[in-house]
Amino acid sequence: MSNDFYTLNVNGEDHQVADSWAGESLLWVLRERLGFPGAKNACEEGECGSCSVRIGEEVVCSCLVLAGSATEQEITTIEGLSAEGELSDVQQAFIDAGAVQCGFCTPGLLVTIDDLLEKNENPDDLTVREAISGNLCRCTGYGRILEAVQIAAASRRGEKRE
Amino acid sequence: MPAALILMPVTVARSLDHALAALEECPEAIILAGGTDVMVQVNRGSMPVDQVVAIGRIPELQGWSREGDWLHLGAGVTYSEMMGEEISSMVPALAQASRTVGSPQIRNAGTIGGNLGTSSPAGDTLPTLFALEAVLTIRSSTGVRKLPINQFIVGVKQNALQPGELIEKISVPVLEGPQEFCKIGPRNAMVISVASFTLLTDVKESQVRSCLGTVGPVPIRPTEAENLLSNGVNWEKNKVSSEVLEAFASLCADAAQPIDDHRGSAAYRRHAIKILSRRAACRIFSEDNS
């Protein structure tokens, strides 16, 4: 234990983390200390991707980030993808495609797909499958998730919905 | 730097000197690079966390440089970066190996220095680094030393890094000629290697270099197989006979020292090496019995 505090920048705002244990993961700190429960905790070993967040320009598993080492970086969680009460284009596409079943993998997938579309507005099927290969979904069989990615990609390219 | 920074449980190192000073103060501190191995242990409660020196943002450990026929990779270069156009054009097998690591999330975080520091028999970059006879630059607050990789990795998750030392960079020769890395696992993504194999060519020297992964305590160079293939290839025509291919694959399998564990049996692993070695050779050379 330490009485020192450190500061994490989450979704554009600084948050102080005090009285923490050195080994706390970013996932745990986000969920249990800072009130960001969107990133989900399942495997805690980087296998499932349900805890995906963006740090700077890269998506990583927040369970594998030591929270105290993530200072002075821009951390974006699912809560930061859209203004409160609004849906992002990817979230809306998930609803439109029916890509949510139990919902546990959804936040991680949304963060990953948002990042993919930031970097590539016109990803082909293989690129999408590769991009989401670290996000496990045990309900949908991925078909509707892949469909949702293409809906969101089309809307980002400014194409009208059919 | 202020002493208080070092006494905090987590030191986020700003520079190589900062990290080395922190390690001098606390030589037993956990060195945290990408976290993809260390944090799994920490989350399980199997690695006590007292002091951590986080080296992920040290500028001197980032990026790469080319010096003649040598490529110097900073220890902090990630798998994603190794898959990039520049590094993959110089050491294609290293890029192929990086591509097989975990998922995009893991490849964005995990580093070549971390792969070496963990020294797992299943480390995906290790066979290619062994085949390239990579040289590690290891630094401490008192000096610097260079160590060939086969003297660095000495056993299962055991290496020659001393308390207070950091891997600074990894130097590999840039060879002329095609390279192939193959890996076996239960699926395409998120797989820890069951058996892996790397085959590099050095067309200037008319030689192949090869290494087996995950089928021994440390990566294994199948020297007899290498010699046989180097001498058996028609380098002018890039051709090799089925007979030589078969003999090469058998010698590679013979060189393996696999064990039975939860990921696969020794017999399966030896068989996999035979398949992978032939496959890699067939991707590089055309099989021709004329």
List, for residues B24-47, the tens digit of each pLDDT value.
999 999 999 999 999 999 999 999
On whether both A73 and A93 belong to a single domain, the answer is no
Question: Does some domain include residue A84?
Answer: no
Q: State how far the Cα of B244 lies from the Cα of B233, in Å rounded to an integer.
A: 8
The answer to whether residue B125 scores a pLDDT higher than 80 is yes
Residues B269-274: what's their mean pLDDT? 98
Q: How many domains does chain A have?
A: 2
Q: What is the ipTM of this complex?
A: 0.95
Please report the pLDDT score of residue A85 as a whole number. Answer: 86
pLDDT confidence bin for B3, thresholds 50/70/90: very low
The answer to whether residue B6 scores a pLDDT higher than 70 is no
The answer to whether residue A1 scores a pLDDT higher than 50 is no
On whether both A70 and A122 belong to a single domain, the answer is no
Contact between B8 and A2 using a beta-carbon 8 Å cutoff: yes
On whether both A121 and A67 belong to a single domain, the answer is no
Domain assignments of chain B as residue spans, ordered by start = 3-54, 61-173, 179-287
- Across all residues in chain A, what is the average pLDDT? 95
Q: State how far the Cα of B163 lies from the Cα of B259, in Å rounded to an integer.
A: 30
Look-up of token digits 């002329």: B176
Question: Does some domain include residue A95?
Answer: yes
Yes or no: say if A82 and A91 are a contact pair by the CB < 8 Å rule.
Answer: yes
* CATH assignment of the domain containing A102: 1.10.150.120
Contact between B49 and A45 using a beta-carbon 8 Å cutoff: no
Cβ neighbours for A119, distance < 8 A, ≥ 6 positions apart: none
On whether both A70 and A15 belong to a single domain, the answer is yes
Closest CB to B43 among A6, A25, A112: A25
Closest CB to B39 among A6, A59, A66: A66
Please tell me the distance in Å from B40's CA to the nearest CA on chain A: 5
A104 touches chain B (CB under 8 A): no
The answer to whether residue A158 scores a pLDDT higher than 80 is yes
> Strand B179-184 and strand B195-202: pairing?
antiparallel
Please report the pLDDT score of residue A84 as a whole number. Answer: 85
Last residue of a domain, one of A46, A79, A112: A79
pLDDT confidence bin for A162, thresholds 50/70/90: low
Please report the pLDDT score of residue A4 as a whole number. Answer: 76
Please report the pLDDT score of residue A148 as a whole number. Answer: 98
Closest CA to B57 of A133, A118, A58, A39: A58
Specify the CATH architecture of the domain B61-173.
Answer: 2-Layer Sandwich (3.30)
Please tell me the distance in Å from A59's CA to the nearest CA on chain B: 6
The answer to whether residue A19 scores a pLDDT higher than 90 is no
Instruction: Identify from B46, B105, B107, B188 which residue to disrupt to test chain A contact, counting A C-beta atoms within 10 A and taking the largest count.
Output: B105
Question: Does some domain include residue A67?
Answer: yes
Residues of A in contact with B35 (CB under 8 A): 64-66, 69
Tokens standing for residue B18: 């900062």
The answer to whether residue B246 scores a pLDDT higher than 50 is yes
Any idea what the Cα angle at residue B237 is, between residues B233 and B241, rounded to 5°? 40
Find the range with the poorest average confidence among A7-16, A78-87, A104-113, B227-236. A78-87
Last residue of a domain, one of A25, A58, A79: A79
Cβ neighbours for A141, distance < 8 A, ≥ 6 positions apart: none
A46 touches chain B (CB under 8 A): yes
* CATH assignment of the domain containing A9: 3.10.20.30
Contact between B9 and A63 using a beta-carbon 8 Å cutoff: no
Residues of A in contact with B8 (CB under 8 A): 2, 4
The answer to whether residue A72 scores a pLDDT higher than 90 is yes
Which phi and psi (to 5°) does residue A52 adopt?
-60, 135
Return the CATH fold of B3-54. Answer: 3.30.43
List, for residues B144-184, the tens digit of each pLDDT value.
999 999 999 999 999 999 999 999 999 999 999 999 999 99
On whether both A112 and A67 belong to a single domain, the answer is no
List, for residues B70-124, the tens digit of each pLDDT value.
999 999 999 999 999 999 999 999 999 999 999 999 999 999 999 999 999 999 9
On whether both A13 and A75 belong to a single domain, the answer is yes
CATH 3.90.650.10 describes domain B179-287: no
Last residue of a domain, one of A31, A57, A79: A79
List, for residues A28-54, the tens digit of each pLDDT value.
999 999 999 999 999 999 999 999 999
B189 touches chain A (CB under 8 A): yes
A62 touches chain B (CB under 8 A): no
Boundaries of domain holding A13: 5-79
Q: What are the DSSP calls for B209-273, one per residue?
A: EEEEESSSSS-B--HHHHHHHHHHSBTTTTEE-HHHHHHHHHHHHHH-----BTTB-HHHHHHHH
Question: Does some domain include residue A108?
Answer: yes
